Structure 1
Amino acid sequence: MIPIFKKYLKLFDLDTRKNLVRFLGVKGFDEIIPFLENEFLENVDKEYRISIVNSLRLIENDEIAKDYLKKLMKI
């Protein structure tokens, strides 16, 4: 499922991608973390990045979200 999701995510407009990334926020879904980290670094849209941080927080913990929020605030 993950390779298919990764392949087709970029075909959608940014608003749809924001919603799709939110669906990835499932506790223990660790294998998606590298993908979300890449998405965070490759995109400059703040709302999209916030969606990614929220998903990371749900998957991992609040510490990882704090690190990404710090990166987000620097931009």
Structure 2
Amino acid sequence: MPLPQAEALTFRKSSYSSAKGQNCVEVADSPGVYAIRDSQNPASGHLTFSNSEWTALLTTTRRTEAHHA
């Protein structure tokens, strides 16, 4: 499956971004693919993840967050 270009994705601010507008990460989803990018520098590109990679990323992030809480 070809990866979508950034222009074909609709990015939104991630719930993991800070409330003050700093350290913002944007996320987009498309069938079978998730993408993230830096909202401060969207022209620098984005990282793409398959469904299983995205699930693993979120699982690890949540475990790490709970461990450091």
Range class of TM-score, shorter chain: under 0.3
Q: TM-score, normalised by structure 2?
A: 0.28
The structure where helix makes up a greater share of residues is 1
Larger Rg: 2
